[in-house]
Copies of this chain bind each other. A is one copy, B any other.
Amino acid sequence: MTGINENYLKLKAGYLFPEIGRRVKAYAESNPQAKIIRLGIGDVTLPLAPSIVNAMVEAAKEMGNPQGFHGYGPEQGYSFLIQKIIEHDYTKRGVKIDEDEVFVSDGSKCDCGNIQEIFALDAKIAVVDPVYPVYVDTNVMAGRTGEADANGRYQNIVYMPATEANQFEPEFPKEKADIIYLCYPNNPTGMVASKARLTEWVEFAKKNGSIILFDSAYESFIQDPNIPKSIFEIPGAKEVAMEFRSFSKTAGFTGTRCAYLVIPKELKGKTKAGESVSFNSLWSRRHSTKFNGVSYITQKGAEAVFSPQGQMEIKEQIAYYMENARLIREGLGKAGYTVFGGTNAPYIWLKTAKGMKSWEFFDHLLQSAQVVGTPGSGFGPAGEGYFRLSAFGKREDVISALERIQKL
């Protein structure tokens, strides 16, 4: 019989969100009358903006006539979209990015999961704890870690705890770390990194020969004009960082699927023999060998996000979600909870009631208030005793959820 990749057996019971799905489904089946409110998985609820829908309707029609039909597109993405991304997200903020440094894909989850393939198997990764599980799980699958301990921490990963004690701002790794995953605005804590702090990270990476994988999927939720939206706003960052961006939360693309990864040509790795190799060229090879581009229709939809009308429409949606965030933050505060995040990010990070464990609080909230959130411990052991609520719900659901929680 054919051998399996045994690294998969090191993984914990299940990917967080499917596990939540299973528990909610079981509860719903035993309580068919319950009106469950989902503020768990970070899924958007507002419909796609009219500019985006119109662009996709037109693109679908184009695909139906001989002149407008598009077969295989460039694996890296169409120029019409890449140019808009560069102009809007980088040039306007004083950052110079070339077209061949942007790789359009079908999602940041895929990019974050696949990127580790281009690194050496013995490269050591560092992650914040709590963290988006995909960073860790994909490295476990690749064999870059040992077994997990009783707390769920894998051997050979450097964990950087983000706790109340350090105001959720992790310290620099004390051990050697080749690859540092950072996510700002942060999922799950909702915290952001100041320009000063990001500058320190860039300097740390330079000094220690590390590279930073910067996940800025939530940059459009930043309200404070002094907070950087891109790590490339920091001088020298192009030599030490790559950046993940997504239309999922910015423009409601969770079910439409479009994202991009920026890898500056200055960003280099090395062979064991000491030869320097550009990560851009390695990823280009990976992307063109294992991926075949994003749907033309989807890319036309993404392009419309950058039109003046599209920008106006998505800004309204973001304002709607940020008003939800304010309601959750303040509502939970009134109910006596200690809350974090939610001012420059769509996530609110709270301490569970009465020192409950995260999954205990999950079950409590589901059974007593029919509200679904995400257990902090699902993001790592330092998340134990915390809980994440998402601001992506419908306004009436957010209000009902808070009323129910306040009554508990």
Q: How far is the CA of A183 from the CA of B18 in the complex (A)?
A: 33
Q: How far is the CB of A18 from chain B (nearest CB, A)?
A: 6
Q: Does any Cβ of B come within 8 Å of A50's Cβ? A: yes
Q: How far is the CA of A134 from the CA of B177 in the complex (A)?
A: 32
Contact A48-B69, Cβ < 8 Å, known A4-B269, A4-B282, A289-B137: yes
Q: Which partner residue on chain B sits nearest A392 by CB separation?
A: B71
Q: Does any Cβ of B come within 8 Å of A358's Cβ? A: no
Contact with B along A51-70 (1 / 0, CB 8 A): 01100110011011110111
Q: How far is the CB of A40 from chain B (nearest CB, A)?
A: 11
Instruction: Determine whether the beta carbon of B6 is less than 8 Å from that of A272.
Output: yes
Instruction: Determine whether the beta carbon of B47 is less than 8 Å from that of A63.
Output: yes
Q: Does any Cβ of B come within 8 Å of A335's Cβ? A: no
Contact of A5 among B8, B44, B109, B117 (CB under 8 A): B117
Contacts of A69 in B (CB 8 A): 45-48, 252, 255
Contact with B along A244-275 (1 / 0, CB 8 A): 00000000101111000000000011111000
Instruction: Determine whether the beta carbon of B289 is less than 8 Å from that of A141.
Output: yes
> Which A1-34 residues sit within 8 Å CB-CB of chain B?
1-6, 8-9, 11, 15, 18
Q: Does any Cβ of B come within 8 Å of A295's Cβ? A: yes
Q: Does any Cβ of B come within 8 Å of A73's Cβ? A: yes
Q: How far is the CB of A102 from chain B (nearest CB, A)?
A: 17
Q: How far is the CB of A266 from chain B (nearest CB, A)?
A: 12
Contact of A71 among B15, B43, B70, B211 (CB under 8 A): B43
Contacts of A70 in B (CB 8 A): 255
Q: Does any Cβ of B come within 8 Å of A173's Cβ? A: no
Q: How far is the CA of A25 from the CA of B11 in the complex (A)?
A: 46
Q: How far is the CA of A44 from the CA of B143 in the complex (A)?
A: 39
Segment of A86-94, A118-126, A343-351, A360-368 in the binding face: A118-126
Q: Which partner residue on chain B sits nearest A68 by CB separation?
A: B47
Contacts of A256 in B (CB 8 A): 63, 295-297
Q: Does any Cβ of B come within 8 Å of A307's Cβ? A: no
Q: How far is the CB of A84 from chain B (nearest CB, A)?
A: 19
Instruction: Determine whether the beta carbon of A2 is less than 8 Å from that of B60.
Output: no
Q: Does any Cβ of B come within 8 Å of A378's Cβ? A: no
Q: Which partner residue on chain B sits nearest A63 by CB separation?
A: B48
Instruction: Determine whether the beta carbon of B123 is less than 8 Å from that of A2.
Output: yes
Instruction: Determine whether the beta carbon of A53 is less than 8 Å from that of B61.
Output: yes
Contacts of A291 in B (CB 8 A): 107, 109-110, 113
Contact with B along A201-216 (1 / 0, CB 8 A): 0000000011100000
Q: How far is the CA of A284 from the CA of B332 in the complex (A)?
A: 37
Contact A122-B53, Cβ < 8 Å, known A255-B296, A293-B257: no
Contact with B along A352-391 (1 / 0, CB 8 A): 0000000000000000000000000000000000000000
Contacts of A64 in B (CB 8 A): 47-50, 52-53
Contact A109-B4, Cβ < 8 Å, known A256-B63, A285-B11: no
Q: How far is the CA of A269 from the CA of B6 in the complex (A)?
A: 10
Contact A288-B255, Cβ < 8 Å, known A1-B209, A65-B47: no
> Which A290-309 residues sit within 8 Å CB-CB of chain B?
290-298, 301
Contact A15-B289, Cβ < 8 Å, known A211-B2, A270-B4: yes
9 pairs of residues in contact across A and B, judged by CB atoms under 8 Å: A4-B269, A4-B271, A48-B64, A49-B64, A53-B63, A69-B255, A106-B106, A255-B295, A255-B296
Interface residues of A (CB under 8 A from B): 1-6, 8-9, 11, 15, 18, 41, 43-50, 52-53, 56-57, 60-61, 63-66, 68-73, 106-107, 109-110, 113-114, 117-123, 134, 137-138, 141, 143, 178-179, 209-211, 252, 254-257, 268-272, 276-277, 279, 282, 285-286, 288-298, 301
